[in-house]
Amino acid sequence: MPSNLPLAGAATPPVSPSQVRYRAHKFGGSSLADAVRIRRVAALLASGTDTVPLIVVASAMQGVTDALTSLAGLAASGRPWHDDWNDLRRQHLAAAAVLDPQHLHGVADWLQHAFADLHTELGAFADADAARLAAVQGLGEVWSSRLLQVALGGDAGGWARLDARDVLQVQSGELGVAVDWSRSRGNLAAWRADRPAGNVVVTGFIAADGDGRATTLGRNGSDYSGSIFAVLFNAIELTIWTDVDGVLSADPRRVPDAVCLESMSYAEACEMAYFGATVLHPQTMAPAIQAGLPIRIRNTSDPGAPGTLISAASGAAASPVKGLSLVEQLALLELSGAGLMGVPGTAERMFAALREAGVSVTMISQGSSEHSICCVVRADQAERARVAVQAAFAKAIAAGQVHGVAVTPDICVLAAVGDGMVGGVGVAARLFDGLARARVNIRAIAQGASERNISVAVAADDAVRGLRAAHSAFWLSRQTLSVGLIGPGNVGRALLAQFAAMLPRYAGHGGLDLRLRAVADSRRMTLAARTISPETAVAGLDDGEPLDLSHFVSHVQAEHLPHALIIDCSGNDAIAAHYPQWLAAGIHVVTPSKHAGSGPLARYRAIRAATRGGGQFRYEATVGAGLPVIQTLRNQLDTGDALIGIEGILSGTLAWLFNRFDGSQPFSHLLREAHALGYTEPDPRDDLSGIDVARKLVILAREAGRELSLDDVAIDNLVPPALRELDREAFLARADELDAPLRARLQAAQAEGRMLRHLACLDDAGARVGLVAPEPGHASLHGRLTDNLVQFRTRRYADNPLVVQGPGAGPEVTAAGVFGDVLMIAQSLGARL
């Protein structure tokens, strides 16, 4: 669409510098809905400190214009209308009783006469023409302006009242109602001749035609008349008072984080208005643009808010895009075929057919190959458009030169608008990247030569998600992730505590809106439309509903939110089996569970393949808890290094045990102490078996490109066969049976001047996990009690291995690793942390 829309009417004549300057205000119907609000408007105007006179353009009381239109329709069709007429009469008389209780201004009598005249008019309405209908439709402004004048103090208080029909002369044209500026200025000069310069209340919406008959300016006409009279009165600025703080960056019903824009240019405002922003209609701005008149949008309910200033040039902005809008209930019409290529006049024939059929085109797109041309039309005109274009190309279709005309229903157009886009590099890429990350497919693209607007056609089902994703992509709002947590055990609870501490900080300064919307354990789940408090998430499961994993996932992947994330802290292999499906659907997955990374190789491959669907899979906490083990390995491999081998202590429990096991105490004593301190799994055999360490080694091996399975790892199980099948308590009672074999292995190591360490090893000889006696100076001999330690030997680090070391166990450390993965995903989606 053109950035500078056609301006209604002829150019305004120059204004004499000696003419009195005014400050103009326009109040909408919601601001004048009843006596209380009319009084609030009067108080607001009285509180101003300006010494210049004021003009105030008044709309009808909220809903009155629609009521009058309905009333006229009833009368014209011969249906009963008296009750509706009486309701309107009572509404206005009630306001008059509050605003003029002592009848000092005679407004009640004035209204009685006005409604009596309307009663007479409606009684003879059977043969009403358009002019008589317009005269009735505009009465709401006549009445409300009188009530507002009274609230301001009336003639005695220095407030004159101007009926726009006495001054404003207009004529209907092809582009709508056009102002006859010369005659209107002359009429205003005659009206002012008998009145000293002072404040004026003006009726909005109404005017007179060339024959002097009452007419209206059409829908949004009150704002239009505000702009017209601001120009006629040579105003310094026009303030349009409404029920929002200003022009917002997006529709707040769809983007709750939409921000109020401090300033906009006329061009930006016209683009935003065309593409759905309802605060201003392009026609409203036409007189202001011609006269260079600034317009400010402000909120009647919050007069302290600065609002949005619209002028010739907008202020500097952090983002090249000022706002985003959606146009809904559209359809995509496409004409395609090889016969269109290089044929002059194809577009002209197509759009001439649409014009003849009375079809309005919202957006046009054509590739340079000219193989197809498409346009977006209103959904209710789509079939008419298809028939018209098909008829225009009937011969070409019959000859096979044109494939035909296709209509895709349920389309929306998303438009990004901003002066900062002009000449800017990467704006389109940012928009498309944001939409792609939210899994929104673009059906058609259009950008005008002004570069001030990029419009894309998307499926209606994706529209709100796409709008929010684009809004976040340009930093107009926080990046929003819908989050579901499965498994609030030790790690899950620690993660919730970290969420409670950190999420407010990220929301305030990091541009991240991490919404915990679903929590589930093995039996129950809690779902929330907006968010679940991390502090009460676990307790809330007591009142939750039975777990339905499919419903849980569909709730997390909400259509109105751009990104979905599932955090799996369950350690359940059956949950891991769902990862490929979730990732393929674009849901991001973060887990500290080793089942996915070390489970069946076929499933691992399926998970990797599924990430092509847009979902990210992050699992740093599976190997080193909060340590950057996987990230370090990936950085080396991704920059061209080659892995030679891995050695590491991958269990904080086994690190603690063998850092302490020096022969001064039996091993069983240390094991029971570790169990009491909570360092071990509930059943310590899960640590001693080496299976957990083997899983971590498989994950690292696969990360390095080796298709290793758990069965390929040689595992030194420290639990004697006789103790493996006992229940946990029986095992702990007989743990002394571990002492002799482990003491023997320790003594053998000490005889060589060495100590025991539990290591995982991967090299050309294979993968193995178990007790070894490292050579003196080995890094594993210098770790702290519960440290994990991973030593990477690569081509770059062949002689002096790269070592990652630090606490590798405990719920808080593991939860921090999970949280780090969540933040990595958020950053990749555009969150500023």
Amino acid at 527: L
Pairing type for strands 22-27 and 54-58 reads parallel
Percent helix, strand, coil in the chain (nearest 5)?
Answer: 45, 20, 35
Give the burial class of 24: count Cβ atoms within 10 A of its Cβ; 0-12 exposed, 13-18 middle, 19 or more buried: buried
Helix (H) or strand (E) holding 512, with range, is strand 512-520
Coil/strand/helix, residue 375 = strand
- Report the distance separating Cα 757 and Cα 716, nearest Å: 12
Phi, psi of 479 (to 5 degrees): -75, 125
Angle at 687 between CA 686 and CA 692, to 5 degrees: 80
Write the DSSP string, 161-225. EE-GGGT-BEEEETTEEEE-HHHHHHHHHHHHHTS-S-EEEEE-SEEE-TTS-EEE--TTHHHHH
- The 10 Å Cβ neighbour count of residue 607 is 23
Coil/strand/helix, residue 51 = coil
Coil/strand/helix, residue 526 = strand
Is residue 78 a contact partner of residue 221, using CB atoms and an 8 Å limit? Answer: no
- Report the distance separating Cα 15 and Cα 13, nearest Å: 6
The verdict on whether 395 is a catalytic residue reads no
- Report the distance separating Cα 516 and Cα 816, nearest Å: 17
Pairing type for strands 802-807 and 713-715 reads unpaired
CA 323 to chain CA mean position, Å: 12
Write the DSSP string, 244-284. SSS-BSS-TTT-TT--B-SEEEHHHHHHHHHTT--S--HHH
Catalytic residue among 26, 322, 594, 696: 696
| Closest to 493 in 3D by CA, of 814, 225, 117 | 814
CB proximity list for 443: less than 8 A, separation 6 or greater:
332, 408, 411, 456, 457, 458, 459
Instruction: Record the tokens describing residue 750, joined without a space.
Output: 């000490």
Instruction: Show which residues are catalytic.
Output: 696
